[in-house]
Amino acid sequence: MDWNINMKLNIKDKFNKVLPADPILENTRRQVSKACFSYVLPKETAKPEVLHVSPEMLENIGLSDADAKSDHFLKVFTGNAVLEKTTPYAMCYGGHQFGNWAGQLGDGRAINLCEVEHNNKSWQLQLKGAGETPYSRTADGLAVLRSSIREYLCSEAMFHLGVPTTRALSLALSGDKVLRDVMYDGNSAYEKGAIVCRTAESFLRFGNYQIFAAKQDNETLNALVDYTIKHHFSHLGEPSKDTYIQFFKDVSNRTLDMIIHWQRVGFVHGVMNTDNMSILGLTIDYGPYGWLEGYEYGWTPNTTDSQHKRYRYGNQPNIGLWNLLQLANAIYPLVEDAEPLETILNQYKTDFETRLLNMMRSKLGLKVEAENDQRLVLELEDILHSTETDMTIFFRNLGDFEKDEASKGLGIIQDAFYKPENVVGNIEKRWNDWFDKYAIRLKQESGSDEERKTEMSTINPKYVLRNYMAQLAIDDADKGDYKLIDEFFKMLKNPYDEQPEYEKWFAKRPDWARNKVGCSMLSCSS
């Protein structure tokens, strides 16, 4: 008998069993009402080829390496075979894009295959780039290799950094060509098509609730919120107005938690539209994201947002709040009382100040809460902005600081400067002053320099998927060489470990990457 992964997967579909389905079965683009999803089958592809599989995710869903090498795995995770007793579907959602209500969006190129239970965890398996759906609007339902590599590598890397995120099972070529105009300047070209199988407990977004509120369809809204609580927030108990308020509070906390992690590691999502905000507080929809090189509040990788920089690094916590306000509006019809929702939003504002400060304390190796810490952090951020300083290298190397050797501080972080020749005169003096204050502050801590370094190394990663690194992996993959994908995948499993064999990736962005498309400039084209 042919190898069949159906026998290994413990398929337990819920979403498409419990919630209202779109009654229309044709794969035609349309406005969908009173339904949470539409049935749709993935598109067959010309010449599918699996390029990489995440061993951890494989294990998480109960599959083996041998399963991953089977023809059935290849077919299922590239959309060329449907698992028995499953009915794939695309989810219906709306969203605010760049601050404006955009109406129905939905899974335009994501197709959910099924839900799998394994080791007491539930995983939704979803193909991204598997063909058009009723929600594809004017687009083709496909994804290109470059954006698929970026999502595949980064989502797994984020998981290992300890950041809440959706994950990825596999990266495959479809064998089809996909037409894209990368910089939206009239220069369209064919690129290799690809499909990522991504996974999460749920892919529900703020926009899934917003769409029903916008249509004043309280019945479906209520069904979806009750479903979400029952299956993903079961600790809250039976649905009631109080439970809905608690639910919103949990979502608010999780969202903030996720964003604080982004700030800690220097991740800029790039498109924090409400359709890209997971209800579980997971980083979702890896598009034109980027990693801070120079520490800069105003930085965004997304060229589509280059004018207003709405989604810049320093604005992410505020946008989280703005998005939560939209979610509060969406679930208001179930609560019918604005006050408790407002209280939660106000709490987010206070929490985000304290949590950001605590996060920065941890990056500096401070455990005690001292009165002037806020000032110490603000002064540091000021100098970091005064000359281009690599965030990852700065914080990692700061671990070597010795509190009795403040004058050596600048030498320790020297490698983090993009233009060391500028660190002279007043800037040099400000750095030295700051190191003096830091040294004094460290004397209020009880641990040794060595202990502090060890702790800081669990908070300040050594390796992140720098923008130019992803681009190098993409350039090689375009030529059919996938070694770098595997190298980064392995290295980013242990981002806090020294891993001397990968030392060359603990380096500043090279100069050629400073203004290169794909490295510092990314569009939404994917």
Distance CA 180, CA 455 (A): 45
Interacting span for ligand AMP (CB under 6 A) from 131-139, 218-226, 443-451, 512-520: 131-139
> How many angstroms separate the CA atoms of 489 and 340, rounded?
44
Candidates 20-28, 139-147, 157-165, 309-317; binding stretch for ligand AMP (CB under 6 A): 139-147
- What is the distance between the alpha carbons of residues 222 and 216, in angstroms, rounded to a whole number? 11
Kindly compute the dihedral angle of the four CA atoms of residues 288, 293, 294, 300, in this order, to the nearest 10 degrees. Answer: 10
Exposure string (b/e) for 468-481, b if CB count within 10 Å is 16 or more?
bbbbbbbebbeeee
Which of 226, 275, 305, 373 is labelled catalytic?
A: 275
The first and second tokens of residue 115, run together, are 């839900």
Out of 68, 105, 153, 319, the residue judged to bind ligand AMP by CB under 6 A:
105
148 in contact with ligand AMP (CB under 6 A): no
Residue 524 engages ligand AMP in binding (rule: CB under 6 A): yes
Binding partner of residue 94 among Mg ion, ligand AMP, none, CB under 5 to 8 Å per kind? none
* Whether the Cβ atoms of residue 57 and residue 84 lie closer than 8 Å to each other: no
Cβ of residue 275: shortest distance to Mg ion, in angstroms?
A: 5
Q: Choose one: 63-71, 102-110, 184-192, 323-331; the region binding ligand AMP (CB under 6 A).
A: 102-110
- Sketch the per residue contact string, 259 through 288, with ligand AMP: x for CB under 6 A, - otherwise: ------------x---xx--------x-x-
Strand-pairing partners, residue 118, are: 121
The torsion angle over the Cα atoms of residues 52, 175, 284 and 522, rounded to 10 degrees, is 110
H-state helical runs in 120-166? 145-161
Q: Shortest Cβ distance from residue 152 to ligand AMP (Å)?
A: 15
Closest-CB residue for ligand AMP? Answer: 108
Contacts of residue 397, defined as CB under 8 A and 6 or more positions apart, other chains included, come to: 412, 413, 415, 416
The minimum distance between CB 276 and ligand AMP, in angstroms, equals 5
Q: Which residue shows structure tokens 């290992």?
A: 160
Using CB under 6 A as the binding rule, whether residue 108 contacts ligand AMP is answered as: yes
- How many chain residues are in contact with ligand AMP, going by CB under 6 A? 17
One residue of 42, 79, 88, 106 binding ligand AMP per CB under 6 A: 106
Give the residues across from 278 on adjacent strands: 205
Sole window of 153-161, 269-277, 301-309, 494-502 interacting with Mg ion (rule: CB under 5 A): 269-277
Q: Does 140 bind ligand AMP (CB under 6 A)?
A: yes
Q: Which does 108 bind (CB under 5 to 8 A by kind): ligand AMP, Mg ion, none?
A: ligand AMP
Which partner, ligand AMP, Mg ion, none, binds residue 388 by CB below 5 to 8 Å per kind? none
For the chain, report the end-to-end CA distance as a whole number of angstroms. 39
Give the C-alpha separation, 473 to 488, whole Å.
Answer: 8
**At its nearest, how many Å lie between ligand AMP and the CB of residue 144?**
9
Q: CB under 5 to 8 A by kind: which of Mg ion, ligand AMP, none does 102 bind?
A: none
Find the Cα–Cα–Cα–Cα dihedral 61, 64, 69, 71, rounded to 10°: -60
Could you tell me the two tokens for 480? 């059919």
| Choice from 151, 285, 293, 373 touching Mg ion (CB under 5 A) | 285
Out of Mg ion, ligand AMP, none, which partner does residue 142 contact, by CB within 5 to 8 A per kind? ligand AMP
Contact 196, 170 (CB under 8 A): yes
Q: How far is the CB of 416 from ligand AMP (least distance, A)?
A: 33
User: Shortest approach of ligand AMP to residue 223 CB, angstroms?
Assistant: 22
Q: Any residues with CB less than 8 A from the CB of 476 and at least 6 apart, and which?
A: 482, 483, 484, 485
Contact region for ligand AMP (CB under 6 A) — 135-143, 318-326, 386-394, 484-492? 135-143
CB 115 within 8 A of CB 124: yes
Residue 339: partners with Cβ closer than 8 Å, 6 or more residues away? none
Binding test (CB under 6 A) with ligand AMP, winner from 7, 24, 139, 183: 139
Which member of 109, 167, 361, 396 binds ligand AMP (CB under 6 A)?
109
Size of residue set near Mg ion by CB under 5 A: 2
d(CA 512, CA 468): 9
Q: Residue 207 has which token pair?
A: 């926009």
Structure tokens at 186: 């009239």
Pairing of strands 267-268, 290-291: antiparallel
Closer CB to ligand AMP, 94 or 365, in the complex? 94
Candidates 30-38, 147-155, 284-292, 476-484: pick the segment binding Mg ion (CB under 5 A): 284-292
The reply to whether 275 belongs to the active site is yes
The residues of the shown chain that bind ligand AMP, judged by CB under 6 A, are 105-109, 135-136, 139-142, 271, 275-276, 285, 287, 524
The residues of the shown chain that bind Mg ion, judged by CB under 5 A, are 276, 285
Q: Which residues are catalytic?
A: 275
